[in-house]
Amino acid sequence: MKKKSDKFVYIAIIIVLCIIIAGLFLQLRISTYQNDFLQIDLKVKELTRTLNLPLIKEKEIRGRFFLPELQQEKTLGIPFDYPLDKLLLQIQEELSLRLIKIHQLEEKDSKDQYQILAKVGSESRTTHTLRFILKKIKIALLIDDFGYSKGGVVDVFLEDLNIPFTISVIPGTPQAKSVAEQAHKSGKEVIIHLPMQPKGKFNPD
């Protein structure tokens, strides 16, 4: 009976020791990760201040259960007049200068936006995801005063330019109807231009 009791005591001691060791290991891991994260976070903030780009969105992602992993996502806007030709290289140099490990750095150019994606952190893990986004501006192109003539130049605009644009036709001009029909067949948008001028002398005062 005593041997059984001693056996249970030994098992209980082993279990308690395992729990203590696991707790200490987890605490050490959390402490190490938090220190790494805070150091990298300070450097990332220095980077964003240096680039002087507006912060659009910021989000933190925490690990589940006992996992200490903490990640941060930042989305920064790129102004339309910002020089893009050296931005990727500048980001890479600024990160390397601060000894931040670059896990991923790439450009993505889509129809609606240009984006640079950077995943950075320590040697063993990603702590920050940075997105630099330039929203593309849409331009409406209107070519004015069609209808006076029809020839090679008009054909270039209506047949050869494979881009969406609108032409305005002045009604009553010799080629107004013909140009409008040709433009419509070529998939161009057609509007009427009605010149409006004062009958008398214009007085700005």
| The pLDDT of residue 30 | 62
Q: Choose among 159, 201, 200, 160: nearest CA to 181.
A: 159
**pLDDT tier for residue 185 given thresholds of 50, 70 and 90:** confident
The DSSP code sequence of the chain is -HHHHHHHHHHHHHHHHHHHHHHHHHHHHHHHHHHHHHHHHHHHHHHHHHHT--EEEEEEEEPSTT---EEEEEEEE--TTS--TTHHHHHHHHHHHTT-EEEEEEEEE-SSEEEEEEEEESSS-EEEEEEEEEEPPP---EEEEE-S--SHHHHIIIII--S--EEEE-TTSTTHHHHHHHHHHTT-EEEE------SS-----
The pLDDT > 90 percentage for the chain reads 19
Please give the structure tokens belonging to residue 147: 């209808």
Answer yes or no: is pLDDT of 68 > 60: no
pLDDT at 156: 79
Pairing of strands 113-121, 101-109: antiparallel
What is the C-alpha separation between 79 and 205, in angstroms, rounded?
40
Parse the chain into domains and list their residue ranges: 2-135, 142-192
Which pLDDT value is given to residue 130?
Answer: 95
In sequence order, the 6+-apart residues with CB closer than 8 A to the CB of 78 are: 53, 84, 87, 114, 132, 133, 134
76 or 169, greater pLDDT: 76
Per-residue pLDDT reduced to its tens digit, 164-177: 888 888 888 888 88
d(CA 166, CA 193) in angstroms, rounded, equals 12
Distance CA 15, CA 101 (A): 39
Give tens-digit pLDDT for 9-49: 677 777 777 777 766 666 666 666 777 788 888 888 898 89
Cα distance between the two ends of the chain: 116
User: What percent of the chain has pLDDT above 70?
Assistant: 84
**88-121: per-residue pLDDT in tens?**
999 999 888 888 899 999 999 888 899 999 999 9
- Tell me the pLDDT of the chain averaged across its residues: 81
Please give the residue that has the higher pLDDT: either 31 or 122: 122
Segment 190-202 shows an average pLDDT of: 74
